[in-house]
Amino acid sequence: MSNDREEILARLRAILRRPDLPFPPAAPPPLTAAERMVVTEAAGTPHQLALRFGQELEKLHGSYEIMGSATEVRLALLHRLDSWAAEEEAARRGPKTDMQGQERMVLGWAPDRLPVEGLSEALADIGWQLIAPPRLTSPETLANVRWIRFGVTGVNAALAATGSMLMIAGPGQSRSASLLPFRHIALIPFSRLYPTLEAWLAERRAAGDLELLLRSRASWNLITGPSKSADIEMNLTLGVHGPRHVHAILFDDL
């Protein structure tokens, strides 16, 4: 058996050395950094990248809007939450579930980790409460957020070519805010918007902090639209393993 294997490998090596074969090249030069191959690509101004991101997200059953300032973002967030709450109230059937006072709560990142200032105060002004637990590791802490239907986060990076959002869990950036609620709102400043994942990685390499991020953060989530699953007949179901609704609010902070 060993001799047969060696004979087969020798024949393959001989064939691959034939000079008339177009591939593989005899002595290929190494790829430069500019020649790194990517699966997708996007280009344009920050606003064009924001529009591309939104269009890709819509293809994946998400939604988006583009704002010009932080003030507009606060108003858009409050409007979206109130609209969703009214939608859920209108769709409710039968007795009202005991939500333990969590129906006007929003599970989110810590206020200082969100890309817009004053969100906690703005929410409180119209009867919402931002909840950002440092840990969810006990039955008691989980019970305190069990019925929260809405989540709000920032992003570490948003990728225009695929409509994806990179979220790296860490202090003040609980992954639960983007995974547990039924409806998730992501706040995306233009400064966190990149054409592709490769572009973000290149920036982090240049800044010299990529290795530190990789070593210090255990949970990296690349989110592309709402949670989706399909059965053997390819019938698509949303919201099985995470949010059913994902809405992005992109805004110019440059």
193-194 and 157-159 strand pairing: parallel
CA atoms within 13 A of residue 142's CA, in its CB half-sphere: 4
What pLDDT, in 10s, does the model give residues 141-179? Answer: 888 888 899 999 999 999 999 999 999 998 899 999 999
Distance of alpha carbon 58 from alpha carbon 165, whole angstroms: 14
Give residue 38's pLDDT: 65
Beta bridge partners of 164: 159
Helix (H) or strand (E) holding 213: helix 210-216
Which class is 44-89+100-251 in CATH? alpha beta
Model pLDDT, residue 156 = 96
pLDDT of residue 245: 93
- Those residues of the chain that have pLDDT short of 50 are none
pLDDT at site 97:
65
Q: What is the pLDDT of residue 36?
A: 63
Residue-wise pLDDT tens digits, 82-113 = 999 999 888 877 666 667 778 889 999 999 99
Contact 193, 53 (CB under 8 A): yes
